[in-house]
Structure 1
Amino acid sequence: MSPRTETLSPPTAPGSLPGIGHILPLLRDPLSFMTSLSTVGDVVRIDVARMPAYVVTDPELVRRVLVTSDHDFTQGRVYEKLSQFLGEGVGTTSGRKHRKLRRLIQPAFHRDRIAEYADTMRTAAENMVADWRPGQEIAVDSAMNDMALTAVTACLFDTEMGPRASAEFRESILTLFHGAVLRTLLPTAWEKVPTPGNHRYRRAITVANRIIDETISTYRTPGHERDDMLSLLLAARDDDGDGLTDKQIRDQVITFLFAGVETTGATIAWALYEIARHPAVEKQLHEELDRVLAGRPPTWKDLCELRYTSRVISETLRLHAPWLILRRTLREVRLGEATLPEGAEVIYSPYALQHDPRFFTAPSRFDPDRWLDDRAATQPRGAHIPFGAGVHKCVGDVFATTEITIALAVICSRLRLRSRSLRPIPEVAAATTHPKGLTMVVEPRIGV
């Protein structure tokens, strides 16, 4: 008989209370709590009420979960909850279904297609700043979400909705964004309580689904061919010649909107905040934009020349990352010295990994030059994963970075934004890490 593998339980994080486990630190200061766990172990048990979960704090073990041993894991609790809103989109499915969906939607995110979307992204940014005036106060976090929603919607649908349908659609999508993350944390029974929030959420799902279904029906009418994402989804075929059903297409559209607005809008807002706080960064960014663009609007071809802008974005994605992502074990799994049972909830935190002083010098400092080639090469694999890795890596990562780059180029080549508060803006742990109440004042760039 072969020797039996010793089963080792990972250490438990301090601060657990009877009946509620680590709920209090998760509610009070989830970012500090998650970043503290690397001092406890490479795999650390936390208790969410009575449910145990295992936080992986080592980059190589995170890479094993996402890449080398991904067949041992499926999407976790959060994605099951999100599927009530996102359906069976590429962001919530696993296994063969996920791989099939990913192959079918991949053409919509080919670089040649994104080059065409770039003009649409620029138009959304230009229309936004056209209404700004010197001295005006801008709620930057809301403004960037609105701009991102406008851009993604225009890339998805090359058609004009009526004013009423457009307003209904925007309101329903924003309601879903704000309510979806809350519902991943609340007990399932809470969703049946007839609260005003639950009523708004259910109505928002109904409205969004209706408008998307009507748009799909219009696109399927002969003579309505268009050159946009929805048309590509309608035309997609697998090796057997089968396409996506209307429901599958609707689920992908909702997924694209969810992923393409929340994280993109928050990243642009954080970048503008950090640029304003760091005059040397702002000066170098402006010099690059002036040199490359010479006063004209940014295009897809300009992006490869905006190297410092790209480093600013990489550093923003590092400093203000998603705080919690889940997987679930499909069988007993060994991670480092810990053995996890089948069905265990496994957590990794891009935010915690990317703030770990073991991998990033002065991790709280905003330093775009840490992404110079020679310095970036010293970082361990898996320490910087703002878009995930492996088969579940975000399919729209290039789309997102293109939109962020173009938005920053449009805004910062024309204007400066200044925060009136000297206090740091609080970070809110939602689907991604959001700036709380980020209001900035518009200033013209002298000489531009």
Structure 2
Amino acid sequence: MGPLPAYVVTTPELARQVLVTGSQDFERGRLSGKLTRALGSGLATSTGQEHRTQRRMLQPAFSRTAVAACAEPMRAAAESLMSGWTAGQVIDVNQAMDAYSSDVVARSLFGSEVAAPAAAEFRQSLPGLLRDMVNRTILPEWWAGLPTPGNRRAARALARVDAAAHAAITAYRAADRDEGDLLSLLIAARDEDGSGLGDTQIRDQMITFTLAGVETTSATLAWFFHELAHHPDIERRVLAEIDTVLGTREPTLDDLPALTETTHALLESTRLYASWIQMRRAIRPVVLDGVELPAGTEVIYSPYLLHHDPRWFPNPEAFDPDRWNPDRADVIPNGAYLAFSAGIHKCIGESFAFLETTMLAAMACQRWRLRPVPGVPVRPVATGVVHPKGLVMTLTPR
């Protein structure tokens, strides 16, 4: 990576050694360190004991009960998005999914009227800001200090988000009541010794949840609709399942096991268009597959690379949701699928993400079919994950 040497692990066994079985030998790497300077030390960027402490404190916010309670904000965000859809309208699907994911995070974080300004600011500023921050992680250190239009725009957006977050935290602490949202859970979180999170720590987690909740979810949904439109046999199966299981009602967390065609199509979207690069740093000398690495060595693992390796996923470029049927999924090696990472740094919000994507996928498919616009090329573009550029589709009522 420029002048920085790094090793790339290219098998599930080595990925598991770095992330799971030998995780005590590694900390988060260069990319997370660069994100920390702008986004703080939330779950997505912290490492070591700090990360373990945070995860222990925040686990109740992502319990099954807490996630199930987020179904209503997700439903409301889906209704809000589709309220502006009309037959024959052409929409930018990636932008629409960004808007939905941002709205879900804002509604889930902020359940109080006093936090409405913060919710509006998070919806407006964070998606673009976070994508810009992720892009800048691969640029040289000196680039961040240049007064480029992008850097100035990002600095202004970050300042607005900071002010909105701290205003909401102050208002919640003053009210001293549980609003039934994620911000209330963050304020109430306590470690084993009874200590809680400070305002800056809560702000860091708020931005972390938004980063995780917007970037991956919006890309997964956009590709889901793209792939369904190009695979009519799979689309028919998904629509028939949604009609049978749900009819006209919205899905709940309890419906996910029955929506196998839908969840497998979403899972396959996360496989095909995953994060392209993640890094870890050895904190002591370590041996990977006979290669001795000194402390401080940067190690790359790529979910995208592993997900597209025919050794683990036959015909890897094909959109094949059936590869997640039990008889085929059982032979996928541990460590070959890493859309949500693994080990101590595995995404704490995985069940939240699947409910969020399933909610919109099901509600949209109950009412609409999204059809490609002829002659408009769709190009994959890597930011944090791989997004579709140029994905415009026509809304057709069912």
TM-score by length of 2: 0.97
Q: Tell me if 1:189 matches 2:142.
A: yes
How far apart are residue 339 of structure 1 and its match? 1.6
Is 1:113 matched with 2:66? yes
Aligned counterpart in structure 2 of residue 252 of structure 1, from 205, 217, 221: 205
TM-score (norm 1): 0.86
Instruction: Give 1:425's aligned residue.
Output: 378
* Counterpart among 385, 393, 398 of residue 440 in structure 1: 393
CA shift for structure 1 position 364: 0.6
Moved more, 372-381 or 181-190: 181-190
Q: Which amino acid aligns with 1:240?
A: D
**2:380 touches 2:387 (CA, 8 Å); kept in 1?**
yes
What is the match of residue 157 of structure 2? 204
Deviations, residues 226-278 of structure 1 (Å, cap 9, x unaligned): 11111111111111110111110110000000110011011000001001110
Q: CA deviation at 1:201?
A: 1.1
Residue 326 (1) aligns with residue 279 (2):
yes
Cα 1:163–1:386 change in 2 (3 A) is closer
Deviations 1:202-233 (A, max 9, x none): 11111101100000000001454311111111
Partner of 1:20: none
Deviation at 1:162, TM superposition (A): 7.9
- The whole-number CA distance in structure 2 between the counterparts of 1:259 and 1:294 is 31
Check if 1:350 corresponds to 2:350. no
Asked whether the equivalents of residues 242 and 362 of structure 2 are also in contact (C-alpha less than 8 Å), the reply is yes
- TM alignment of 1:294-443, pairs within 5 A: 294-421=247-374, 425-443=378-396
Q: Shift in Å at residue 174 of structure 1? A: 2.6
**Unmatched tracts of structure 2, length 5 or more:** none
Work out whether residues 104 and 238 of structure 1, in 8 Å CA contact, stay in contact via their aligned partners in 2.
yes
Within the candidate set 89, 92, 109, 2:45 is matched to: 92
1:217 has 2:170 as partner: yes
Which residue of structure 2 aligns with residue 261 of structure 1? 214
1:226 maps to what in 2?
Answer: 179
Q: Percent of counterpart pairs with the same letter? A: 48
TM-fit CA distance, 1:189: 1.4
The alignment partner of 1:308 has SS state of helix
Q: What is the CA–CA distance in structure 1 between the aligned matches of 2:5 and 2:115, rounded to whole Å?
A: 49
Q: Partner of 2:240 in structure 1?
A: 287
Structure 1 position 400, deviation (Å): 0.5
Amino acid at match of 1:288: E
State the 1:299 CA deviation.
2.5
CA contact (8 A) 1:420 1:441 kept: yes
Deviation at 1:164, TM superposition (A): 6.5
Query: How many angstroms does 1:294 deviate by?
Result: 1.6
Q: Distance in 2 between matches of 1:217 and 1:163?
A: 13
Contact 1:121 1:406 in 2 (8 A): yes
Aligned pair in 2 of structure 1 residues 113, 378: CA closer, same or farther (>3 Å)? same
**SS of residue paired to 2:315:** coil
Residue pair 1:144, 1:269 contacting (<8 A) in 2 also:
yes
**SS where residue 101 of structure 2 aligns?**
helix
Where 1:379 maps in the other structure, the secondary structure is: coil
Alignment pair present for 1:156 and 2:109 = yes
Contact 1:331 1:342 (C-alpha < 8 Å) held by counterparts: yes
1:412, distance to aligned residue in structure 2 (A): 0.7
- What CA distance in whole angstroms lies between the structure 1 residues aligned with 2:118 and 2:272? 37
Q: How far off is 1:163 after superposition?
A: 7.5
* Cα deviation digits, residues 45-104 of structure 1 (max 9, x gap): xxx221101110011010000000001001011101100222010111111110000011
1:158 partner SS: coil
Mapped to 1, the partners of 2:26 and 2:118 lie a distance apart of 40
Structure 1 residues 197-206 or 253-262, which shifts more? 197-206
Query: Could you tell me whether the CA contact under 8 Å between 1:218 and 1:224 is conserved in 2?
Result: no
- Report if the CA contact (8 A) 1:85-1:176 is conserved: no
- Correspondence 1:38-49 to 2 at 5 A: 48-49=1-2
Distance 1:241 1:224 in 2: 18
Residue type of the alignment partner of 1:301: D
From 219, 228, 232, give the equivalent of 1:275: 228
- Equivalent in 60, 82, 97 of residue 144 of structure 1: 97
Q: Where in structure 1 are there 5+ consecutive unaligned residues?
A: 1-47
Match of 1:240 in 2: 193
Give the whole-Å Cα distance in 1 for the aligned partners of 2:341 and 2:116: 37
Q: Secondary structure at the match of 2:339?
A: coil
2: CA distance, partners of 1:225 / 1:374: 45
Q: 2:5 aligns with which of 46, 49, 52?
A: 52
Indicate the residue corresponding to 2:129 in structure 1.
Answer: 176
The structure-2 alpha-carbon separation of the partners of 1:206 and 1:423, relative to structure 1 and needing over 3 Å to count, comes to closer
- After superposition, the C-alpha distances for 1:135-176 in whole angstroms (9 at most, x for unaligned) are 100100011011100011100110246886655443321331
CA contact (8 A) 2:57 2:190 kept: yes
Decide which of 2, 17, 23 is 1:70's aligned counterpart. 23
Given that 2:115 and 2:168 are in contact with CA atoms closer than 8 Å, whether structure 1 keeps it comes out as no
Separation (CA, whole Å) in 2 of partners of 1:281 and 1:171 = 35
Deviates more, 1:427-436 or 1:168-177: 168-177
Change (3 A) 1:347 1:272: same
- Give the number of the structure whose alpha-carbon radius of gyration is greater: 1
- 1:162-197 Cα offsets, whole Å, 9 max, x none, are 886655443321331131012211112122212221
Deviations 1:374-400 (A, max 9, x none): 111111111111100000000111100
Letter in 1 for 2:103: T
Q: CA deviation at 1:422?
A: 5.5
Counterpart secondary structure, 1:100: helix
Distance in 1 between residues matched to 2:345 and 2:119, nearest whole Å: 31
Q: Read off the aligned partner of 2:394 and give its amino acid letter.
A: V
